[in-house]
Amino acid sequence: MMSNSTALDALSELFGNIPLGTLINIAIFIVIVILIRYLVAWFVSTLVRRGLISTGTRMILTRILDILVVIVVAVVVVHTITASLTPYIIVTVIGLLVIIMFYYEIKEFTAFITIQLQRYAKGIWIEVYLPNYSSPIRGRLTEIQPFNSVIEDVYGNKIYIANSVLVNSLIKEFNPSIFLELTVTSHEYLNINEILQTIKEVVSGSPFRLDESYMPIKSMSTASVSLVLRLIPLSTPVRASDLYRLMRQISTSLSQYNPIVEVLNI
């Protein structure tokens, strides 16, 4: 009981020695900081409603904002009362230690915020050209996590990419597709129109759609021709059994041309 009374007396004596103007300034400062905090929180909530950032991001940002508010208020109040620079020095040292110890996490989380603001909504199909890599990664953006993002290709395989790497990559939207190379040979005249019509009929009964606007001829001679077929899946992920069944049906339908069907990684 004595200890509580002593603490209250010390606290009363401390605040009793503070000029009224200083107390008013402290109160005004606290009100302004709290007002700024709620304005920033309202702005973040607006971004969530517009779909620019996720709810999880809002929760993390709100917690960071609350911590910063408490630290700022505590430092300024202590400095105002004691007229000492010690709180600023302590906060600076702690901030440097946090940056050094959690540099990777801070870098990835900063990239996470950047990705959230770039309107890359979850579920879209993207083509990612990583720095120093010529072959892109294609897939559907399924998750944007604080430290990495998850891309799922047409076969359902998940690829984890660090957010800092994704931010520095070239990203384009694209439609999911699978490319097949078809080579047919014959000692007789090759009727290309007949071959293409057969392919269309086979694909029409499969879980794919044939892109007739994309059908380049890789090579052609009097006895053989090599085509590239672009198949657009009607649903994803693509099952390997469906793709295998379609390739086998194409081979069977064009058996008189000794067909060779291969999957291309374009």
Q: pLDDT tens digits for 119-162?
A: 666 778 888 888 888 788 888 888 887 788 889 988 888 999 88
Q: In the numeric block, which tokens belong to residue 224?
A: 């053989």
Contact predicate 33/41, CB 8 Å? no
Does 1 score more than 60 pLDDT? Answer: no
Q: Where are the chain's structural domains?
A: 2-101, 121-173, 178-264
Question: Hey, what CATH class is 178-264 in?
Answer: alpha beta
pLDDT interval class at 8 (50, 70, 90): very low
Strand duo 208-210 + 125-129: pairing:
unpaired
Average pLDDT, the chain: 79
Radius of gyration of the chain (CA): 32
For 179, the 3-state DSSP assignment is strand
Enclosing H/E stretch for 244 = helix 240-253
pLDDT in tens, 201-220: 999 888 999 988 887 888 88
Choice among 8-17, 95-104, 119-128, 231-240 with the minimum mean pLDDT = 8-17
Q: Which class does domain 121-173 fall in?
A: mainly beta
Burial of 55 (0-12, 13-18, 19+ CB in 10 A): exposed
- CA neighbours within 13 Å on the CB side: how many for 219? 9
